[in-house]
Amino acid sequence: SESRAEPETGASNIVSTVNLGCPLDLKFIALQARNAEYNPKVGVYVHKIREPRTTALIFSSGKMVCTGAKSEEQSRLAARKYARVVQKLGFPARFLDFKIQNMVASCDVCFPIRLEGLVLTHQQFSSYEPELFPGLIYRMVKPRIVLLIFVSGKVVLTGNQVQHTHTHAQ
């Protein structure tokens, strides 16, 4: 099938990690900071901020995972905001090793896709099990990403660590 309309893409989620460089007292932070919860079973505290809308998981070793940002810049900004909060509470926080771990993007190719045809031609990359999951799982090798392709034409791309926009031609 030919592509008629222009596919719209948008990153919907970015996961990144950063090392704050100093051990933290989680209970203290959770009590002082706004919008923070401490989960002793896991050993982590969950801190949510509203602007940019992200969630951070902060560990007692000082390592932090930041999720929910919509772009890399926002993710970096949000991570810095968290570090600032921790710093204001008196811990010597630094900003080491900011690394983006995962990016999820979704796009719409605006035409229905025949998954059976796709799996016949790209057998070694595709995995389509209608009993297990209605979408086709396509593992692309060159940029190492996984795409979930649905019949409606919606495609979800994930696994990449660098922003990568592409059009999918059948």
Interacting residues with another protein (CB under 8 A): 112, 114, 116, 119-120, 123-124, 127-132, 134, 150-152
Nearest approach in angstroms of CB 148 to another protein is 13
Residue closer to another protein (CB basis): 91 or 128: 128
Residue closer to another protein (CB basis): 77 or 151: 151
C-alpha angle with apex 72: 17 to 100, nearest 5 degrees?
Answer: 30
Nearest approach in angstroms of CB 132 to another protein is 5
Residue closer to another protein (CB basis): 64 or 113: 113
Residue closer to another protein (CB basis): 73 or 129: 129
Nearest approach in angstroms of CB 166 to another protein is 23
Per-residue tokens: 99 = 């690394």
Residue closer to another protein (CB basis): 82 or 128: 128
Number of Cβ atoms within 10 Å of the Cβ of 87: 16
Strands (DSSP E) found in 36-95: 36-39, 44-49, 54-59, 63-69
Which ranges in the chain belong to alpha helices (H)? 26-32, 72-88, 115-121
d(CA 44, CA 47): 10
Nearest approach in angstroms of CB 32 to another protein is 42
38 in Cβ contact with 24 (< 8 Å):
no
Cis peptide before 52 (omega within 30 of 0): yes
